[in-house]
Amino acid sequence: MNSKRRNFIRSIFEYNRIEIRDVDAGEDPFLYSTKNHGPGYVDVKGGVGVDEFFEPALDLLADIVVRDQVPLDLVIGMMTGGALPGYRLKQHLQERLGKRIVYIYQRGARKEGGHGELDTGDRNNPFITDKCCGLVVEELVNFAGTTTTGVLYERKKGRIVDHAACILFYKNPVAIERLKTNNITLHWAVTLPEVLDFGLREEAITQRQFDQYKAFLKNPKVWNMNRGYQFFG
């Protein structure tokens, strides 16, 4: 692990971006946007107000996207959490790659009113061409539901979107399978298992917290069902 990644993971704990609840001792679990439950949450989205957290995160993610040679003309920030990270990533990539990269953002499917489109920034935009290559951006990917929805919508618009990026990837098996099924290659700055390993090693979390979160990551469906919660795949 290079120093950039290690320092960013350290900042997750330094700026209190992670919370782990002792669900097995009676604490309420987190309810994710997927309606599934889990023992912890990493508030990457809330870190937008802390430059010392936010800026290194996007600098690191830009390193990854450039390293992986992602074909790129367009960045699509998801309004669920990727709008500001997506815009900042676009700025980094435009500077590093020395070419124009267009930024748009995609609103939720439940949007009411408006012109019936989910994207903002693409109408009458002469710099968006047919068959342009796009990158969908989220702040984190847990079950990959929103990421997949975003990619599929852009494909329907006729764009080539085979890649997505996030600051933090939970790396649970549900997400991995969903991304594979939809032919989406995900690029991330750090993974939750890496964060947990660091936290345990640096004594920022307890062995009990580590074990509970790792049990969830190993099989979110079993974790939910064993505790009496319906699982939404």
| Confidence at residue 121, expressed as pLDDT on a 0 to 100 scale | 95
pLDDT 10s digit of each residue in the chain, 233 long?
799 999 999 999 999 999 999 999 999 999 998 999 999 999 999 999 999 999 999 999 999 999 999 999 999 999 999 999 999 999 999 999 999 999 999 997 544 334 457 999 999 999 999 889 999 999 999 999 999 999 999 999 999 999 999 999 999 999 999 999 999 999 999 999 999 999 999 999 999 999 999 999 999 999 999 999 999 98
7-18+27-224 belongs to CATH 3.40.50.620: no
What pLDDT is recorded for position 60? 98
Does the pTM surpass 0.85? The reply is yes
Q: What backbone torsions phi and psi does residue 54 show, to the nearest 5 degrees?
A: -70, -50
Q: What is the Cα–Cα distance from 103 to 112, expressed in whole angstroms?
A: 23
Q: Which residues have a Cβ under 8 Å from the Cβ of 151 and sit 6 or more positions away?
A: 136, 161, 162, 164, 182, 184
Q: What is the DSSP letter of 46?
A: G
Contact predicate 30/37, CB 8 Å: yes
On whether the CB atoms of residues 64 and 34 are closer than 8 A, the answer is: no
Place of tokens 């002792």: 22
3-class secondary structure, 10: helix
What's the confidence (pLDDT) of residue 113? Answer: 37
Report the C-alpha gap between 57 and 190 in whole angstroms.
9
